Amino acid sequence: MEVKGLVNGKEIKRDPFDLDYIEIDIVKDFVKEIEESENSPYARVEVDLTSPEHPSYNLVNCSNHFEDKFYNLMRRKKFA
């Protein structure tokens, strides 16, 4: 499953060692944990980092089951 980083609606390209957008790496790790619950080959997660301190997530072509699992993981991350 693809995870894309966006800023102001445009996809960002980044170096893997760039720490400015580490949230994308965190989301990729979470998605790897639950991606078997999504069957659509067109599913993706977009991480909008226009406001890096409050990223937003857009799940595209994802099942309700995957969305539930994803948002449960993200809630747990906030409390960690």
What are the sequence ranges of the domains in the chain?
A: 2-79
Judge whether 73 and 33 are in contact, CB under 8 Å: yes
CA dihedral over 10, 14, 20, 25, signed as positive or negative? positive
pTM: 0.87
| DSSP single-letter state for residue 54 | S
What is the rounded distance in angstroms from the CA atom of residue 18 to the CA atom of residue 74? Answer: 22
pLDDT tens-place string over residues 42-58: 999 999 999 988 999 99
pLDDT tens-place string over residues 11-69: 998 777 778 888 999 999 999 999 999 999 999 999 999 998 899 999 999 999 999 99
Measure the CA dihedral 37/33/72/16, to 10°. -120
